[in-house]
Amino acid sequence: MRVDAVTLFPGMIDGPLSESIVGRARSEGFLELGFVNPRDFTEDRHRTVDDKPYGGGTGMVMMAEPLYRALKKVRKRGSCVILLTPKGSKFDQAAAVELSKKKHLVFICGHYEGVDERVTPLADLQLSIGDYVLTGGEPAAVAVIDAVTRLIPGVLRKSDATVNETFGDGLLEAPHYTRPAVWRGKKVPEALLSGNHRLIAQWRLEQAQALTSAERPDLAKPAKKKAGVAKAAKH
C-alpha cells in the first residue's frame, strides 16, 4: 500500500510510524509512506501557508492554494483522499478494514484553526478519531495509518492475528493472561488452563460480552443485534 500525507510537519508522522509493526511493514515493503509539504507550493519568500480568517476570530486558517497544489502532486487515479477533521465521520475498526483494501491513501492534515472550507470537496472522505482537539491532523493520521497497516495481508506474522480482536465483532476483547499461572496470589482463570478449546472460546465470549456491557454499553447493543442476525441466518 502507498500512503501520502499532505502535512506541514512530516516528522510528526514519520517518527511514530518508524517503530514497531508499522516500521517493519515499511522496511519490508508492505507500506510505502511519503510526504508532501504545502510550503513547497507557495510563491512568496516567506512560504506562507496560512492567513487570518474572514469575519474575524482567533487563530489562523490554512490557505486553499498550497493545499490544492500539494494534493495535485500526489493524487492519482484510484487514490482515496482523506481529510482529517472534527467534522468527519468517526473512525472505527470497520473503516480501518475498508481503507486497508485501498491501494493508495492520501491524508490531508490540517493545522492551526483548520483548512479553508473550499478544500473540503477535494476529499473523498472526512474522518475524525474522536471528540477532542489536537494540535493538527498529524496525530490522527498516525492513528489511522497504524490501524490500517496492521490489516494489510502479510504485515502481522500470524494470519489470524486480527480475527478475534477488540471491535472485530463489535465487542471488546476478553482479558489476557500469561506466565506465571499465579502472580502475587492472583491466579489465571481455570478455563484458560484447561486445554479445552471449546471451553476457552466460550469463556472468552462471555468475558467479552460482560466487559462490553459494563465498559462500552454503546457497543453492546449493536453487537448483540449482530449476533442475533448471525444466529438466525444459520437456521
- Full DSSP string of 163-188: TTSTTTTSSPPPP---S-SEETTEEP
124, 149, 174 - which closes a domain: 149
Give the confidence band of 228 by pLDDT, cuts at 50, 70, 90: very low
pLDDT average, residue stretch 193-209 = 97
Residue keyed to cell 509493526: 21
* pLDDT(231) > 60: no
With a pLDDT cut of 90, the percent of the chain lying above it is 84
For residue 46, give the CATH number of its domain: 3.40.1280.10
Q: Is residue 29 part of a domain?
A: yes
Positive or negative CA dihedral for 7, 11, 14, 17?
A: negative
Q: Which residues contact 206 (CB under 8 A, 6 or more apart)?
A: none
| Residue closest to 33 by CA, chosen among 24, 46, 44, 42 | 24
Residue 117 in this model has a pLDDT that exceeds 80:
yes
In this predicted structure, what is the pLDDT of residue 230?
43
- What range defines the domain where residue 219 resides? 182-234
Residues 189 and 139 in one domain: no
* Cell triple for 176: 489476557
Strand duo 80-90 + 104-109: pairing: parallel
Name the band, by pLDDT with cuts 50, 70 and 90, for residue 159.
low
Q: What is the reported pLDDT for 161? A: 59
Q: 191 and 145, same structural domain?
A: no
Which of the 8 DSSP states describes residue 103?
S
In a domain, 170, yes or no: no
Q: Do the beta carbons of residue 171 and residue 208 sit within 8 Å?
A: yes
> 212: buried, middle or exposed (CB in 10 Å: 19+, 13-18, 0-12)?
buried
Q: Is residue 176 part of a domain?
A: no
> CA-CA-CA-CA torsion for 216, 220, 222, 227, nearest 10 degrees?
150
Number of domains in the chain: 2
| Spatial separation of the C-alpha atoms in residues 59 and 73, rounded to whole Å | 28
Q: What is the mean pLDDT of residues 11-37?
A: 98
Q: Give pLDDT, residue 235.
A: 45
Average pLDDT value over all residues in the chain: 91
Q: Are residues 55 and 9 in the same domain?
A: yes
Cross-strand partners of 62: 50, 115
Task: Return d(Cα 63, Cα 68) in angstroms, integer.
Answer: 9
pLDDT at 225: 55
Tell whether 162 is covered by a domain: no
**Cβ atoms < 10 Å from Cβ of 94:** 11
In this structure, of 92-106, 132-146, 151-165, the range with the lowest mean pLDDT score is 151-165
Place of cell 453487537: 223
Query: Is the same domain home to 218 and 118?
Result: no
Q: Is 168 exposed, middle or buried (0-12, 13-18, 19+ CB in 10 A)?
A: middle
